[in-house]
Amino acid sequence: MKDIQKTYAMKQSEIEKKWFIVDAENKVLGRLATVIADRLRGKHKPAYSPNLDMGDNIIVINAEKIVLSGTKSDDKDYFSHSHYPGGVKFTNIKKYMKEQPEFVILHAVKGMLPKTKLGKQIIGNLKIYAGTDHPHSAQKPEIINL
């Protein structure tokens, strides 16, 4: 009988995670979010497996300097509801960009990840900071140029 090669299933203990840093200054929100989401999932690795957290840890700096394409700064609203009658609330993205620029990137990336327990685990590998300072210099992150 022929030698049959079996498909190799990677274990969680065999996964190597690296730290990367992304500068969001003058980057378009959607294009930046897709790159971050792919890195968080681990889709850039040759041994990608959709049921494991294979991705790397990503640090995003300068979140306040992100750019929106087209007329999104005027048109895009975030929806929330208080679960009471008449509790609908729409907030423009400009308000979030001034008060919580980290939320805008987090919301964009989170929407591109699976809506499961694994997705919640993966989003924990993303660290976003409004300015250039971050407390992760001990992890020696590599820079991703986009």
Q: What is the mean pLDDT of each run of 10 residues along the chain (146 residues)?
A: 76 92 96 97 92 95 95 95 97 96 97 96 97 95 92
Domains and CATH numbers, the chain: 16-144 (3.90.1180.10)
Helix (H, G, I), strand (E, B) or coil at 30: helix
Question: What is the three-class DSSP state of 80?
Answer: strand
Q: Return the pLDDT at 10.
A: 84
* Alpha helices, DSSP H, located in the chain: 29-41, 72-75, 93-99, 101-110, 117-123
pLDDT given at position 9: 80
What pLDDT score was predicted for residue 95? Answer: 96
What confidence score (pLDDT) does residue 8 get?
A: 79
Amino acid residing at 132: T
